[in-house]
Amino acid sequence: MRYVSAGESHGRVLTVIVTGVPAGVPVLAERIDTDLARRQGGYGRGGRQRIETDRATILSGVRFGTTIGSPVAMAIANRDWENWTDVMAVAGDKPKGIRETAPRPGHADLTGVMKHGTDDARDVLERASARETACRVAAGGLAKALLAQLGVRVASFVSAIGEVSMAEVPDPSAVDAAAVEASEVRCPDVATSELMKREIDAARADGESLGGVFVVTATGLVPGLGTYAEADGRLDADVGLRQPGELHLEGHLHRR
Amino acid sequence: MRYVSAGESHGRVLTVIVTGVPAGVPVLAERIDTDLARRQGGYGRGGRQRIETDRATILSGVRFGTTIGSPVAMAIANRDWENWTDVMAVAGDKPKGIRETAPRPGHADLTGVMKHGTDDARDVLERASARETACRVAAGGLAKALLAQLGVRVASFVSAIGEVSMAEVPDPSAVDAAAVEASEVRCPDVATSELMKREIDAARADGESLGGVFVVTATGLVPGLGTYAEADGRLDADVGLRQPGELHLEGHLHRR
Amino acid sequence: MRYVSAGESHGRVLTVIVTGVPAGVPVLAERIDTDLARRQGGYGRGGRQRIETDRATILSGVRFGTTIGSPVAMAIANRDWENWTDVMAVAGDKPKGIRETAPRPGHADLTGVMKHGTDDARDVLERASARETACRVAAGGLAKALLAQLGVRVASFVSAIGEVSMAEVPDPSAVDAAAVEASEVRCPDVATSELMKREIDAARADGESLGGVFVVTATGLVPGLGTYAEADGRLDADVGLRQPGELHLEGHLHRR
Amino acid sequence: MRYVSAGESHGRVLTVIVTGVPAGVPVLAERIDTDLARRQGGYGRGGRQRIETDRATILSGVRFGTTIGSPVAMAIANRDWENWTDVMAVAGDKPKGIRETAPRPGHADLTGVMKHGTDDARDVLERASARETACRVAAGGLAKALLAQLGVRVASFVSAIGEVSMAEVPDPSAVDAAAVEASEVRCPDVATSELMKREIDAARADGESLGGVFVVTATGLVPGLGTYAEADGRLDADVGLRQPGELHLEGHLHRR
């Protein structure tokens, strides 16, 4: 399974196509919407009004709730599109005064403007945007549907944000998934969650963002996913193997 | 530039994403629509009602008529979708009596049913369908827009259908493009065109289809496209090189 | 399984690496040598002295006659290398007077020289050479070893050379493999073989080469190899499906 | 440019093929040998006897010291092969008593044995070995030869090993390359280098290994390498952009 995504942050719609999807996998758009809502609900990501807005529309590859072996296309509409039709019009002449001329530091804006030879940073920042990750979440939801059918369970939690980290990182099998969901920062420890939120509040007040550490575990896998034999087939060396059939990923998100 | 397509023949919409598109290429949906109309207008392909129906909607990657370096997504809606919402529903239970149980000879239906373990050949035939080629036409239109900017001219004509072929296949540079467009079978010779149409009529009366031969030429290229050095970089050996900077393809379409 | 090859026609050695090879496949270099000898023994390809010269040396990926899941590297030494060390030296200064300045018509020479900006056509013609196909034969031998283990049988014969073709192309299952091997042109019909050889002799006398038609069949396959769902997963449309689990390829070799 | 490697740790030879190499790049095997010697010379990697042994033999793709546009194959012979011909024989029956039955903890051995269904961990550990990185060094040497021609300078140093790290990580442009080379642990600070060596010695005494941090910088690049537009074209997010045209990579090596 591979995915390809398209779409700008304030464009009409995000589109993602997943190829190589086997037939016979039960897929519900509603379950993918739950993942999309989790993505939007991160603490400090924006106001409440954004919660529950993204919806995945399955365009092809699924019939009567089951994949048929064709590529699966999904659309995630921009619910605010009506307010952006002038700035992000596909056709027509560009109105005066809508150019973005100040590239944001630490983003791809300046490099993109130099690469593409444009005088409008919006041509770059609309794609170099976290909004694209909604496509990855939708594609990941499809992957989770397949894995669920195979008896694979995927779990994750956040163990550190900024300088705040859990006193002891628990074994993922001992982590209560409901406690993770209940935390606005996806940390199963209530006290640490509160400290993390304060850390985020302080960073926001300074106009900063924060990195962190997350843990993802998959159990129920067959041994030998990926390969040691060829460089481009290796799973990332950060993906540790606790025991055959269990993947353990400890990832670091750097602040932007 | 690479394309990925999705969509079933009678599904809601065809979707195509083209990645690797450079910034700064002028793109008009109307020009792609012209190519889509050419695809639909082939002699013997169906009634008049199908002509001029397909429309490409550019969803992303183009702003004010020019590519911005992002992936270009395009949608081609199924104008007859309202009559297919029962048979091709994405969600819900499958109504009784809509299974296709007779695989068409010479198509992928039987193999697909065996591969995917389905009891409904529609799960296969909806994707194993010439309708998918509309996505290739749209992606090709984008490629032609880029090539036009580079001064590359692409021309083509049909030289044979079934047993009827042009007495002499002309040099592509001597072929009048308007004469090709004027022919319902894209053959620049008027008399041969008439014979080809009669050949098609006879085949249709027998419930048969026909193969043929087409010629495609591109001029204005740089020498050395593709490579002789690596097998997966070779342009097909059928693509002959008349002189450096000119590609010449003589293709054979087999009847189904 | 994928292969990558390297090596020039008169260089020290041809090298091929096959990746994605499963463990547990019995592989004998001697069996690959038989295929290499078949490649060299084609009628009209050269004198007797070339027969039985190519030898595949397995460098890695095989232990005690069985693949171990690592990439398989094979070398095919140039037995005439000692006579080419001056012209094809890897290091040192180029001696005067060894440039090739006459590109062969109908080959990649002229295009390659323009592409790479060299004044020595040998830099191109050494790679744009039929000798590279020895690597494909060796890689194919590995694939045949895997297929044999899975009960797949691959057979082939030549049905036409130049204007000479078999009166009736037989069903591949009815063709006697020993008769194919006994023919210098791999045609199971003795009388046709003789006519083909005369056709080749006549062409050689004129300084020409000839195209032809071959038939390859594989039986014992599972249904549904390749896919109708994605363009880059399709087996070539020329590969016809007689019945599920049987591939049938009728190929055309054009004269150079 | 892409590379594919083959070869086992104690096999006859390591082989690497680099494809997509442009013509006209000056390449010296001796310069690649210098990189191979740097790889072997790391503190704590083994005794003196291993130093200066690896040699790259260029087998194809280079003529009179310059690439010709063909794939470049290189071989790195195992200088100790004569002592391993019994254990690592390509053909013949496996002698009794040479199976490895104790998978090393923390390596791919156990998983590989389960994946491939073998009873000899040597089938796995011979490829799941740091020796393969010699191929990457040789391929990287070719890449450096191309980059040098384009005016790109690549520099690197080690900033931390185990718990020992430089008090302040210097700007790479301020680092003296000779000081890096003079250090057995590639750290430009002499005092820190000594502490790092003691850290390594202590770990070795405990039968342990250590992770660390390295910094790689490339200057003289064009802006916009990689892309923000497509997930599989992104350079790793760890590769920071100091300013357009400069790549900055801070990598973490985990202990095994």
Residue A236 confidence (pLDDT): 55
Distance in Å, alpha carbon of B87 to nearest chain A alpha carbon: 9
Q: For residue C223, which of C244, C248, C249 has the smallest C-alpha distance?
A: C244
Residue A256 confidence (pLDDT): 40
> Mean pLDDT lowest for which of B17-31, C46-60, C193-207, D209-223?
C46-60
Q: Is C52's pLDDT higher than 80? A: no
**How deeply is B101 buried, as exposed, middle or buried, from its count of CB atoms within 10 A (0-12, 13-18, 19+)?**
exposed
What is the count of residue pairs from B and C with beta carbons less than 8 Å apart? 56
Using one digit for the tens of pLDDT, what is the confidence trace for B158-176? Answer: 999 999 999 998 887 789 9
Residue B238 confidence (pLDDT): 47
Q: How far apart are CA C73 and CA C61, in angstroms?
A: 7
Residue D179 confidence (pLDDT): 95
Using a pLDDT cut of 90, give the percent of chain D over it.
Answer: 62
Using one digit for the tens of pLDDT, what is the confidence trace for A32-71? Answer: 999 999 888 878 765 544 545 899 999 999 999 999 999 9
In this predicted complex, what is the ipTM? 0.90
Give the DSSP letter of residue C107.
Answer: S
> Mean pLDDT lowest for which of A111-115, D11-15, D83-87?
A111-115
Q: Are A237 and D254 in contact (CB under 8 A)?
A: yes
Q: How far apart are CA A44 and CA A197, in angstroms?
A: 8
Partner-chain contact A230 D4, CB within 8 Å: yes
Using one digit for the tens of pLDDT, what is the confidence trace for B88-141? Answer: 999 999 999 899 999 888 788 888 899 999 999 999 999 999 899 999 999 999
Q: How far apart are CA A160 and CA D89, in angstroms?
A: 50
Q: Is A9's pLDDT higher than 90? A: yes
Q: For residue C156, which of C40, C10, C38 has the smallest C-alpha distance?
A: C38
Q: Is D139's pLDDT higher than 80? A: yes
Q: Is C39's pLDDT higher than 70? A: yes
Q: How far apart are CA B162 and CA B255, in angstroms?
A: 9
List residues in chain B touching D: CB distance below 8 A: 19-20, 69-71, 227, 229-230
Beta sheet of B239-241, edge-to-edge order: B164-165, B153-161, B212-219, B246-253, B239-241
Q: Is B48's pLDDT higher than 60? A: no
Query: At the fourth CATH level, which superfamily is domain A151-256?
Result: Chorismate synthase AroC (3.60.150.10)
Alpha carbon distances (Å) from C150 to B69, B243, C27, C145: 46, 46, 14, 9
Q: Is B254's pLDDT higher than 80? A: no
Mutation to test the B interface, candidates A28, A60, A93, most B Cβ within 10 Å: A60
Determine the residue type at D23. A
Distance in Å, alpha carbon of C155 to nearest chain D alpha carbon: 27
Chain D residues with CB-CB distance to A114 below 8 A? 223-224, 244
Determine the residue type at C247. L
* Domain edges within chain D: 1-88+126-150, 151-256
User: What is the residue-averaged pLDDT of chain C?
Assistant: 87
- Indicate the pLDDT class of residue C48, thresholds 50, 70 and 90: very low
H, E, C per residue of chain D: CEEEEECCCCCCEEEEEEECCCCCCECCHHHHHHHHHHHHCCCCCCCHHHCCCCCEEEEECEECCEECCCCEEEEEECCCHHHCCCCCCCCCCCCCCCCCCCCCCCCCHHHHHHHHCCCCCHHHHCCCCHHHHHHHHHHHHHHHHHHHHCCCEEEEEEEEECCEECCCCCCHHHCCHHHHHHCCCCCCCHHHHHHHHHHHHHHHHCCCCCCEEEEEEEECCCCCCCCCCCHHHCCCCCEEECCCCEEEEEEEECCC
Q: Nearest 5°: phi and psi at C198?
A: -65, -40
Please tell me which of the candidates C4, C231, C244 has its beta carbon nearest to residue B111.
Answer: C244
Partner-chain contact D228 A112, CB within 8 Å: yes
Higher per-residue confidence, A213 vs A8? A8
Q: For residue A2, which of B226, D189, D230 has the smallest C-alpha distance?
A: D230
Prediction pTM value: 0.91
Chain C residues with CB-CB distance to A71 below 8 A? 229-230
Residue A237 confidence (pLDDT): 45
Q: Is D45's pLDDT higher than 70? A: no
Using a pLDDT cut of 90, give the percent of chain C over it.
Answer: 61
Partner-chain contact B4 A13, CB within 8 Å: no
Chain A residues with CB-CB distance to D128 below 8 A? 228-229
Residue C91 confidence (pLDDT): 96
Q: How far apart are CA D88 and CA D110, in angstroms?
A: 20
Q: How far apart are CA C139 and CA C27, in angstroms?
A: 11
Q: Are A179 and A188 in contact (CB under 8 A)?
A: yes
Partner-chain contact A90 B29, CB within 8 Å: yes
Q: How far apart are CA C18 and CA D17, in angstroms?
A: 11
Separation of first and last alpha carbons in chain D = 30
Touching chains, B (3+ CB pairs < 8 A): A, C, D
Chain A residues with CB-CB distance to C4 below 8 A? none
Q: Which of A28-37, A167-176, C153-162 has the highest mean pLDDT?
A: A28-37
Chain A residues with CB-CB distance to B8 below 8 A? 60-61, 63, 68, 70
Q: B1-88+126-150 is classed in which CATH architecture?
A: 4-Layer Sandwich (3.60)
Give the pair of three-digit tokens for residue B134.
């509309």
Residue D256 confidence (pLDDT): 41
Place of tokens 């030898």: C55
**How deeply is D174 buried, as exposed, middle or buried, from its count of CB atoms within 10 A (0-12, 13-18, 19+)?**
exposed
Higher per-residue confidence, D108 vs A26? A26
Cross-strand partners of A160: A165, A213
